[in-house]
C-alpha cells in the first residue's frame, strides 16, 4: 500500500510535544530573519563603501593625482 499523503497519526501530540515543536519553529524563523537582516546590512555597507571609493577616485582625478 503506497502512502498517498492522507495517512493520519495514530496518537495525538501532547501539549509538551506541541510546545517543543512550536519553540523550534520560532527559533528557525528567527534565524532566517536574522540572516536576511544581515544580508541586507552587508549589501548596504558594500554599496556605501563602493560609492565612497568611486567618489574618492573621482576627487583624486579632479586634483590631477590619479
**Mean pLDDT computed over every residue of the chain:** 90
Average pLDDT over residues 13-24: 94
Listed by start position, the domains of the chain span: 14-66
pTM for this predicted structure: 0.58
Cα–Cα distance, 64 to 62 (Å, whole number): 5
Identify the helix (H) or strand (E) that includes residue 58: helix 15-62
Residues comprising the chain, all counted = 66
pLDDT band, residue 45 (cuts 50/70/90): very high
Res. 62: pLDDT tops 70: yes
Average pLDDT over residues 20-33: 97
User: How far apart, in Å, do the first and last CA atoms of the chain sit?
Assistant: 76
Q: Which of 24, 6, 5 is nearest to 16 (CA)?
A: 24
Cβ 66 vs Cβ 57: under 8 Å: yes
Amino acid at each position: 500500500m503506497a502512502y498517498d499523503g492522507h495517512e493520519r497519526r495514530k496518537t495525538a501530540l501532547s501539549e509538551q510535544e506541541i510546545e517543543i515543536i512550536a519553540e523550534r519553529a520560532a527559533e528557525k524563523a528567527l534565524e532566517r530573519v536574522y540572516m536576511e537582516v544581515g544580508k541586507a546590512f552587508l549589501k548596504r555597507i558594500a554599496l556605501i563603501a563602493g560609492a565612497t571609493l568611486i567618489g574618492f577616485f573621482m576627487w583624486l582625478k579632479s586634483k590631477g593625482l590619479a
